[in-house]
Structure formats: structure tokens, C-alpha cells
A = this chain, B = another copy of it.
Amino acid sequence: ELLGVRYPIIQTGMGWVSGATLTAATAEAGGFGILASATMTLEELAQAIAKVKARTTAPFGVNLLPNQADLAKRIALLVQESIPVASFAGAPSAAVVQELNDAGITSIVTVGAKRHAEKMVGIGVSALIAQGGEGGGHTGSIPTSLLLPQVVDACAGTGVPVIGAGGFYDGRGLVAALAYGADGIAMGTRFLLSAESQVPANVKELYLKSALTATVVTEAIDGAPQRVIRTDMIDALEKSPAVLRFPKAAMNALRFSRESKTSLLALLKTGREMKSAQDLTWAQVALAANAPMMTKASMVDGRPEVGILPTGQVVGAIGSLPPVAEILETIIAEAAATLVSLR
């Protein structure tokens, strides 16, 4: 395994969810944990890295936003702290990948289509996570059963390993991923629903009672397709005409600023940074700020009635909150038994 861990299982970077506690638990238990830094300031990221290191000597990674204004400073921090892996949900530029390669940092990018995979391999990315449409948060339309073999084909002969994501929760799935040609699996929802996850208990309960059909992919939150649990809030957002979503998002931003005690200045600053970096319209900025703010309302403040609940469809197959070590060991034991049964 490229990442130098015991088990070929990655815990993905989930905004407001995969902080130091969960990441350290995953790393210490033999998986590869990833800190979500998009929802942290640079200072908070430095503190989180220190906190993980205080709890484990095992390697772990950091998830970065490809267009974050202070990306160079964050990469410098990873170099300084000898963090071996930087992961991206969206496509990083060739220059960023080059910078990471030069610094000896392994880059992992999540892709949802074969052509994205080919492009990322072309700019020198170290490894890919192929996330099928059943995956959580921002996601594509091609399911794991089709995406994973296609991305493996795209990487054939390049030496770039592929990790399967979307719909994985047990050892049978791990072996299925290996059969498709993957080198391991990445999971988000399964780790969100662990004992060590810091998500409020009332929110975890909402996830646990959700069925396989309880999720929806919507563009109403920030304009990009995102899989969340279907709630009254989502229905209301989807019913809003597109032209009304900008003022609604702006009002949400103000409301969350007040309700979540995030200063409006900090919020606007994030918006400005995103705007300068990505050349978005202000309407897009307001919408883009919507997703992390609405995720925070659920995941940090425990107020799902005013927030969103990003999730993989796999939520319907998960009914308990075991410790991370138990999750990993159960999957590995089941995978071993599955491999024996295939002989």
C-alpha cells in the first residue's frame, strides 16, 4: 500500500466531521485517516495536525480545497509537518500537483468519470479515488459498478493506484472493489457513523434511521449535485425557483452567522477568498458558502432542521455506531473470509 498503513481503507475528508479525533482514531486503528481542512482556518489546521500527532504516530493525510486562497501556505504547512498525503475532492491544477510531487507529498484526487481520471493522471496525480454516484456529498451520476472498472482501465499501465468509493461498508464490498481492480476502498458515511465521530448524537440518530431510499441528489444547495438525506429543508430548497435562491442563500448566510456564532466578517472573507480564487459571481459565492454553513448547522451545532445532512446512499445499510477499530477489523475479517469462499 502506497500510504504505508495496515489496512487498504481510507477515511475520507469530510467537512466539519473528520477532525482530529476521528482522523487520529482511524490512523491509530490501522486505516488511513484524512483531516478535512476546507472548513478550518490555517491556524485551526495546524492545531488539528498537532492534535492528531499527539494521539498517534501513524501516518494520516489532509484534504485541501484546490482553489483555496491560502493553498500555498497550507501546502507549506504539510511539508513542514511531514504530512505524507494531500487529498482533493475537486480537481487541483497541474501546478499544484507539480508542487506536491516536488515536495514528495502523495496527491490523491477524487474523480467521478473516466475522462476526469485521464486528465488527473495526465497532470501527474499520485492516486485516484473513484467515487460512484451512490457516494455522499458532491457526487456524480455513474455508479461504482461502472465507474470503478472504467477508472481502473484509465489508469492501466500508468502505475496510478485506484481506490473505490461509494456504497462500501463491509468486507464483501472491499473484495468486490479488489475484483474490479482497485487497491482499496474509501468510506465517509461509515466513519461518520462511528463512536469516535464528533457529530452530535441527535444528528447521528437521524442518519441511523435513514433507509437506502432516504437520500436525494440535489443541485439546490450550491448548484452542484450533492447527495444528502431528504429533509423538509431540502424539499423547501428544491421548490424555490432558481432566481430566488441567491437572496435565500444570502439570508441563510446572515442567519447562520447569527445562529452559529460565526462572524459575518469570517463568512464574507471566505466568500471573498473563493471569489478571487475561482472567479465566481457573488450569487455563486453565496450559494457555495451555503453548503459548508448548512453542513455546520447539522454537524457542529446539532440543528439539522436548519442544516443539511450529506451522506452516501450506504446510510441505509448502516444501523450502529461502532468504534473505528471495530469497523476496520470487521471489514478485514469479512474480506478474508470472502476471499477464502472465492477459492
Contacts and interface: CB of A to CB of B under 8 A. Distances in A.
Nearest to A145: B167
A143 B143 contact: yes
Chain A to chain B: the 6 pairs with minimum beta-carbon distance, closest first: A145-B167, A176-B176, A175-B179, A176-B179, A143-B143, A144-B145
A143 B142 contact: no
A146 interface: yes
29 contacts: A113-B212, A132-B143, A132-B145, A134-B145, A134-B146, A141-B213, A142-B213, A142-B316, A143-B144, A144-B145, A145-B145, A145-B168, A145-B173, A145-B176, A146-B313, A146-B314, A146-B317, A149-B170, A150-B212, A150-B317, A172-B179, A172-B180, A172-B181, A173-B179, A173-B180, A175-B176, A176-B179, A178-B342, A343-B343
Contacts of A257: none
A315 B341 CA distance: 31
Nearest to A216: B141
Contacts of A180: 172-173, 176
Interface in A300-322: 313-314, 316-317
Interface string A113-149: 1100000000000000000111000000111111101
Contacts of A114: 212
A276 B141 CA distance: 39
Q: A-side binding surface: helix, strand, loop or mixed?
A: helix
Stoichiometry (number of copies):
2
B146 A212 contact: yes
**For chain A, which range describes its interface: under 10, 10 to 19, 20 to 34, or 35 or more residues?**
35 or more
A11 B160 CA distance: 35
Nearest to A170: B149
Contact of A166 (B145, B166, B177): B145
A339 interface: yes
Contacts of A231: none
Contact of A143 (B113, B149, B170, B313): B313
A142 B168 CA distance: 13
Interface string A159-200: 000000011101011011111110000000000000000000
A31 B296 CA distance: 52
A99 to B, nearest CB: 32
A307 to B, nearest CB: 24
Contacts of A143: 132-134, 143-145, 167, 313
A185 B179 CA distance: 15
Nearest to A338: B179
A277 B61 CA distance: 60
A118 B70 CA distance: 53
